[in-house]
Structure formats: C-alpha cells, structure tokens
Amino acid sequence: MSSRLQTQARPDSLLINMGPSHPAMHGAVRIMLELDGERILNSEVEVGYLHRGFEKTCENRTYFNLLIYTDRLNYVSPLINNVGYVMTVEKLLGLNIPERAQYIRVLMSELSRISDHLTCLAAMAMECGAFTVFLYNMKAREFLWDVIEATTGARMTTSYIRIGGVRADLQADYEAAVQKGLAETRKVLKDVHGLLDKNKIFLNRTRDIGVMSPENALSYGWTGPALRSTGIAYDVRKAHPYLFYDRMNFDIPTGERGDNFDRYMVRMREMEQSLRIVEQCLAQIPKAERGLMVDGMEPAEAIRAARTQKPDRPIKLSPNLEGSEKAVTKDILADDRRVTIPPKEETYTSIEGLISHFKFFMKGHGIRPPKGEAYLSVEGGNGELGYYIVSDGTDRPYRLHLRAPCLPLLAALEDLIKGRMLADIIPTFGSMNIILGELDR
C-alpha cells in the first residue's frame, strides 16, 4: 500500500487495492483506495506494470525497423500510430508523398479510429452490464477489420504505412468491402443509441459521474474525445490539418458536462463523422494505374527488355506482394530511392535493384535524415499523438519521444473519482479508453 495513503488515512477508513489483476483495470493499472464504506475518500494510481522501453528501444533500431514498435502503442488503432511516426520522419526528410498514398492513409486512419471507438465503448458498456452492446460493437468492428486485413495483411499489428507512402495499394474490391463495413457500422450505431441513450441504468452509471471542467481538462493536458466532452472543440485534424483532412468536410462533436455520458456520446458522434470522411475518401481518391503499360510495354515485358538475356518466363511475384508491383509503386511510394525499397521485380532481375535493396537494409545505410529535429502530431483515437525525433544524420534516431494522449487522462483519475462510490470507478475508467501499450511505453 502507498505510504502517502497509509500516513494520511483516517483510523476508521479501509485501505484496499483495485488492480492490477482486476479485470476492469485491464491487468496493468493499480488503484490504491481509501474508503469510507463504499465512498472513495482518497486514491493513488500506480502505472508501469507494462513498461517495455519503447523510446530507448527505438533509439537502437533503424528508422525502417522501428516502425513495428509503433504498432504496439495503441494496438487498437495501430495505423494512426504508423502515420504519426512516418510523417515525422518525412518532415525531417522533406518528402513529397503521392496523392493516392495520402488518401489511403486518411482512409485507413479513419477506419482505425472507428475500430478504436467501437472497442472502447464495447468494453465500457460491458463493464456496466450491457453485454449486448459489446457483441454489437464487436460485430461492426469485424467488418472494418476485414477491410484492414485485406489491405494490410494483418488485423492488429499492421506495419502497413511506410516512410514515403504505404506498403501496398488497396485490394481490387476494396470499395465494395468498405461500403459494406460502413453500412453495417451505421446499423450498429443506430442500435446502440437505442439501447443506451435513454437507458435508465446506463444513465445512472454515467450521467454527472466523472465530471471534468474545461479549465481542469486543459490544465491536465487532455486532448481527444475526453477534452471535447467538456465542450472544447480541439481536434488536430482541424487545428493543424495534415494529409488531406483540409479537403474533408466533417464536424467536431462536443459535450456539455464533461461526464462519462458525454465521453460516450462524443465517441458515438465521432464515428459518424469518420464514416463521412471515409465516404469522401472513396469519392475523391485518384484511380489506381495498376496494370497499365510501362514505356509502351506491359510491366513484365519492360523488365525483360531491360535485361541483356531474356528470362524463360514472366516474373510472378508472391501473393503476399500483391499491390506492391512495380507498375503501382509510383502511386503509393515517393520517388526517392533514399527512403524506399526498389520494387521486387527490379530486385529479382537487375544487379542495380539488388544492390539498392541490399544497401537499404545494410547497417549505416538506409534511411538517413539530415541532422535536425522535428515534432509532428496527429489525431489518435484518444487524442493528440505526437512524435518528437532528433536526427544526428545516421540511420537511427538519436532521440525519439512519444507524446501519448493516455497519460494526461489517467493523471486526472484521482480527482474524477474522489468523493464518488466504488462502483463509479468502472465507467469512469472505461470512458477514458486507457490503452496500456501507449501509457506504459
């Protein structure tokens, strides 16, 4: 038990631990409580159970190889983590990204944001006893994850976004799959509104509980849906537009009281706005040029013509390389060999391509931004997700720091639950969407 609570506790109060093994604490947060019956007199939050040294690990990996560690931050919306990191490196490099790749980044980010909010509200509702809502949200998330899996090859730790663009183009039938996911998600959101918005039990667990004023929210450094629930319409996508968010028409939902119910409602409305953004991406994204002629020849013919000795048969890439063929790389990757891997057709058929591929991964070579520093933030599922990188001109960052939105949220938990009942901890903690991979980085 914490020495602070031990020394300050009243002689007739009860000191107990909630977590880290409590299921509502997600296995990695410990709350030490001083109780008078079931009323919370004082508390102290302890974190660090999941700490894995993300920042120091990244300083010992190349700019390309550390991408996989960003997936493990907010593992519910890893694509947004990827986008924030690669855009910071691109800021150091001064790269221009193809237009189609930028639209793909927006599309995948918004699908990830919806998945993040669905997961948060599913867990929050389940912990309040609404198990049906949990099942409905998971059903909707599956449709979105089907699109993400078909595009990236993975459901959670995607490592799809690349410095200079994206790893592969969208699958051939992506539009129909996305439209199906949007339709199913809208059905689920309508059902969840009907189940919870006027549900007396849910309202008693959330309305006027965990209240945060706008002033205190700003002093704690809150961002994201939690800050917007207090009435402050701050969203990185609007305040500091990146990618093509300045081309998108969407609103910023806000709350009025800053309580648990407002945090629920803001996320519900944000999903509707993200669905609007996805539809606008589908309408605006430039058409792919996959399969078009290269210098008047089909891609395979162009490769054979570039060699002095023709291969016996056309090159056939592995199925896991679908969407990254040479004919489409100009649409999804920057035309800069300092930061991109050569198409596999070149690696397999020319000595120049093989050398470029080899040097890209060789120690001391690869991606080497000029000396300098850069900070860039994106709107993550929980708020402002920022990366600060210092480059010393080598292939590894001299310093990498993450501005994680979860930490300021959890820092306010002690104030939010003080004077409340023991049962109020569950919906309050759930409404914050604390992701431990991001918190204990």
> So what's the pLDDT on residue 172?
85
Does residue 77 contact residue 113 with C-beta atoms inside 8 Å? yes
**pLDDT tens digits, 9-34:** 677 888 899 978 888 887 788 999 99
What share of the chain has pLDDT > 90, as a percent? Answer: 68
Q: What is the average pLDDT score of the chain? A: 89
Distances (CA, A) of 33 to 16, 19, 26, 36, 101: 5, 11, 17, 10, 49
Per-residue pLDDT averaged across 110-137, rounded?
A: 94
> So what's the pLDDT on residue 346?
87
DSSP code, position 14: E
Residue 121: φ, ψ to 5°: -70, -30
DSSP code, position 259: S
What share of the chain has pLDDT > 70, as a percent? Answer: 93
**What is the distance between the alpha carbons of residues 416 and 408, in angstroms, rounded to a whole number?**
13
> So what's the pLDDT on residue 300?
46
Does residue 360 contact residue 162 with C-beta atoms inside 8 Å? no
**pLDDT tens digits, 73-95:** 988 999 999 999 999 999 999 99
Contacts of residue 46, Cβ cutoff 8 Å, sequence gap at least 6:
2, 29, 30, 31, 32
Find tokens 């894995």 and name the residue. Answer: 52
DSSP code, position 319: G
Per-residue pLDDT averaged across 129-151, rounded?
A: 93
**pTM of the full predicted structure?**
0.91
> So what's the pLDDT on residue 2?
53
**pLDDT tens digits, 253-305:** 999 999 999 999 999 999 999 999 999 999 999 987 654 434 444 444 544 44
The strand order across the sheet containing 14-18 reads: 14-18, 30-36, 39-46
> So what's the pLDDT on residue 295?
42
**pLDDT tens digits, 341-397:** 889 888 888 888 899 999 999 888 889 999 999 999 999 999 999 999 999 999 999
**pLDDT tens digits, 200-222:** 999 999 999 999 999 999 999 99
Is it the case that residue 65 has pLDDT exceeding 90? yes
Distances (CA, A) of 305 to 122, 191, 314, 315, 408: 56, 59, 11, 13, 59
Confidence of residue 322 (pLDDT cuts 50, 70, 90): confident
Q: Is 54 helix (H, G, I), strand (E, B) or coil?
A: helix
Contacts of residue 431, Cβ cutoff 8 Å, sequence gap at least 6:
124, 206, 210, 226, 260, 263, 264
Find tokens 């980085």 and name the residue. Answer: 441
Does residue 242 contact residue 264 with C-beta atoms inside 8 Å? no
**What is the distance between the alpha carbons of residues 164 and 324, in angstroms, rounded to a whole number?**
13
Distances (CA, A) of 18 to 152, 378, 385: 38, 33, 28
Residue 31: φ, ψ to 5°: -115, 120
Would you give the distance in Å from CA 249 to the centre of its chain? 21
Per-residue pLDDT averaged across 309-335, rounded?
A: 78
Selection from 87, 104, 88 nearest residue 328 by Cα? 104
> So what's the pLDDT on residue 52?
82
Using CA of residue 93, residue 379, residue 177, residue 285, what is the dihedral sign?
Answer: negative
> So what's the pLDDT on residue 232?
95
Per-residue pLDDT averaged across 64-77, rounded?
A: 92
> So what's the pLDDT on residue 405?
93
> So what's the pLDDT on residue 439?
86
Q: Which amino acid is at 271?
A: M
Q: Is 129 helix (H, G, I), strand (E, B) or coil?
A: coil
Domain ranges of the chain: 3-46
> So what's the pLDDT on residue 440?
82
> So what's the pLDDT on residue 185?
95
